[in-house]
């Protein structure tokens, strides 16, 4: 079945780095834009980044621009989010999702906690 599985979350100190991964199955990954969305504890949803199926078009939200890098490996059906210079306000559940319009498939999320 169509599935997205995130990994790579954890506890990191302010200023540190993490790399999130999302593995897709059940659909032709290279046909789709992919997105990262995050949700801070008890808060709403925030679109972080999206990448075109070819990787040629990328968008970042202002809050992460210059610190986060989205990438993908279509040969491995994988999406990545490299997060550098992490701040306390980056603490959230990070979801990968298929698409960049309506997001019709979501992973279960991976938790990132930035704390000293």
Partner 1 sequence: EIVLTQSPGSLSLSPGERVTLSCRASQSVNNRYLAWYQQKPGQAPRLLIYDASNRVPGFPDRFSGSGSGTDFTLTISRLEPEDFAVYYCQQYGSSPRTFGQGTKVEIK
The answer to whether residue 64 forms part of the interface with partner 1 (CB under 8 A) is no
- Return the range that interacts with partner 1 (CB under 8 A); candidates 7-15, 16-24, 42-50, 79-87: 42-50
* Long-range contacts from 46-52, C-beta under 8 angstroms, 24+ separation: 46/92, 48/81, 48/94, 49/81, 50/100, 51/79, 52/100
The answer to whether residue 27 forms part of the interface with partner 1 (CB under 8 A) is no
Per DSSP, 26 falls in state S
The answer to whether residue 9 forms part of the interface with partner 1 (CB under 8 A) is no
Q: In whole angstroms, give the CA distance from residue 42 to residue 54.
A: 34
Quickly tell me which residue has 């938790």 as its tokens. Answer: 111
We find the least distance from the C-beta atom of residue 75 to partner 1, in angstroms, to be 26
The answer to whether residue 109 forms part of the interface with partner 1 (CB under 8 A) is yes
Contact residue for partner 1 among 31, 66, 101, 116 (CB under 8 A): 101
The answer to whether residue 46 forms part of the interface with partner 1 (CB under 8 A) is yes
Sequence-ordered strand ranges (E) for 40-91: 45-51, 58-60, 68-73, 78-83
State the residues that interact with partner 1 by CB under 8 A.
35, 44-47, 50, 59, 61-62, 95, 100-104, 106-109
């Amino acid at each position: 079945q169509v599935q997205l599985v995130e990994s790579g979350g954890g506890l990191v100190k302010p200023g540190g780095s993490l790399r999130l991964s999302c593995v897709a199955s059940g659909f032709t990954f290279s046909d789709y834009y992919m997105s990262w969305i995050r949700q801070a504890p008890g808060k709403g949803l925030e679109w972080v980044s999206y990448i075109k199926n070819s990787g040629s078009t990328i968008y970042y939200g202002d809050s992460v621009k210059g610190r986060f890098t989205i990438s993908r490996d279509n040969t491995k059906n994988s999406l990545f989010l490299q997060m550098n210079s992490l701040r306390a306000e980056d603490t959230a559940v990070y979801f990968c999702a298929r698409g960049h319009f309506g997001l019709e498939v979501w992973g279960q999320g991976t938790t990132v906690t930035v704390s000293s």
